[in-house]
Amino acid sequence: MRADGDYGRDPFGKSVQEAEYGDRISTPEDRERLAPQIRHLNEHGYVIIENALSPVQFAAIRDGLDEVNSGTGFARSAFLGEKTQRPYGLLAKTKAVWPLAAHPDVVAVCEGHMDDQIQLSSLTAATLHPGQPAQTLHRDDGFYNLPDPHPPLSVSSIWALDDFTAENGGTLLVPGSHNPPTETEPPARAVNVEMKAGSVLLWTGATWHGGGANVSIDQVRRGVIILYCRAWLRQQENQYLAVPRETVREMPRVLQRLAGWWVIGAAMGFVEGRSPLRLLDH
């Protein structure tokens, strides 16, 4: 717990900061339970959690994404995919994805890997249609202008709403390419990640990856992409503008925190000197 005396004297002091940053969303028990997955992510740069959704959850999420996709055209660049539907701001567009963003296993793995508080960086989707070429391999933390090597800054995830295969565009990934990181090009050939619908793939922000090529004749590959970063970094997608305050009020507290509506390190993100959660509660 925060030492109020120390906080009042020096909110930037070591004791206060250690107490503040120790306030995690996941529990120590969950991080211990998922220690093998955290270790795999640390060592290989990626991990798959299989069967992470119940059939009822899965059906609701896929229906929600299909509804959003019904009003979403194809992207307008080669990188985003000219035969890919890529809606943004999903937190505001469908409540169906809320359980994905706050999934306790994913949150625990992210917090365990980064050993820090986390927040949502972006929440989008990628629905690959037949004929979509493979995406350029890239690193998701490349827009943070920091020299390599650096501590892990982010974790990305994609939820499979269809079976992911090499034929329909299963995510391309270079295992181990996060350590040591390279700034110029991936050090080895990428492989397609194949997994069953209802599973989630997580990879570090430093791991080289990209969307696969959908070379099938009639298969559509749907995935929800959620990026998490350290809570003191700027989000890739501006959640404060993308999600109306009325919608944030309806979110469970865990998701409100993940969306950035709380104070980090005792002094980052406050409004009128207090937590922004007050704006939601009053």
pLDDT tens profile 202-239? 999 999 999 999 999 999 999 999 999 999 999 999 99
DSSP-derived secondary structure letter, 264 = B
Structural domain of 141: 27-234
Inside any domain, residue 74 = yes
Inside any domain, residue 5 = no
Query: How confident is the model at residue 274, as a pLDDT?
Result: 83
Query: How confident is the model at residue 4, as a pLDDT?
Result: 61
Inside any domain, residue 11 = no
What are the tens digits of pLDDT across the range 58-77?
999 999 999 999 999 999 99
Query: How confident is the model at residue 279, as a pLDDT?
Result: 81
Inside any domain, residue 16 = no
Q: Please say if the pLDDT value at position 2 is more than 60.
A: no
CB atoms within 10 A of CB 192: 17
Inside any domain, residue 228 = yes
In the structure, what pLDDT confidence band is assigned to residue 19 with cuts at 50, 70 and 90? confident
Inside any domain, residue 166 = yes
Asked if the bond preceding 28 is cis, omega within 30° of 0, the reply is no
Mean pLDDT calculated for residue range 226-253: 95
- CATH code, 98: 2.60.120.620
- Pick the range with the lowest mean pLDDT from 89-93, 136-140, 270-274: 270-274
- Pick the range with the lowest mean pLDDT from 155-164, 245-254, 272-281: 272-281
* pTM, full prediction: 0.94
Inside any domain, residue 279 = no
Inside any domain, residue 280 = no
Check the CA dihedral 75-80-82-87 and report its sign. negative
Number of domains, the chain: 1
Q: Are 242 and 88 in contact (CB under 8 A)?
A: yes
Q: Please say if the pLDDT value at position 182 is more than 80.
A: no
